[in-house]
Amino acid sequence: MTALNSHAFLASLGIKTPIIQAPMAGVQDYRLAAAVSNAGGLGSLPCAMLGPDALKAELEALNEATHGRPYNLNFFAHTPPNPDDQQEARWRQALAPYYKEFAIDPATISNGPGRMPFNDESAAIVEAFRPAVVSFHFGLPEPALLDRVRQAGAKILSTATTVEEAIWLEQHGADAVIAQGLEAGGHRGIFLTKDMTTQM
């Protein structure tokens, strides 16, 4: 990317500093996103583990803390797996020696927060709060939902782990692609293949 293109990209996001903070679901709230946005970068709020009420509360606090500066809302665009009771039973059986060793009653282990895919309710929240950027992990949502994001005025970013995914994202409406290599922290956003040899 040339310096001119780089400046144009920053301007399109409404930021001065070339930093897009990675959204970190489960370990951050609006305060980290606000700090990055207030420093001139693009703060990111992870939304996949937040229910609608919690997300609205975070966004109200983020809006108040950023005073109109741009920020990114990050969602997952995955299809949740169907629960498999037999597979769950096999996992619990395989882990039984460890439960016993550490005196853990498996019945006391909660499932933890789910990871919700982007849906109509998410789109309505985007429409209400009108963030500068909405990013996705694991592909993009269905076209009708993506159109709602675009109509709300947001730039659309998404993560690719392969060249094939990057091309797919560009062809399906992403304004920019986040290239995620093997050295990425946390989980990777694989969505078209499980073949590790083809990945960035």
Reference 192, options 165, 166, 172; nearest CA is 165
Biggest distance spanned by C-alpha atoms of the chain: 61
Annotated active-site residue 172? The verdict is no
Choose, from 7, 78, 137, 187, the residue flagged as catalytic.
Answer: 187
Q: Round to whole Å and give the CA distance between 69 and 35.
A: 11
Query: Six-digit token pair at 197?
Result: 């040899």
Q: Round to whole Å and give the CA distance between 175 and 122.
A: 19
Q: Round to whole Å and give the CA distance between 12 and 80.
A: 33
Q: Round to whole Å and give the CA distance between 84 and 166.
A: 32
CB of 137 within 8 A of CB of 74? yes
Residues annotated as part of the active site: 187
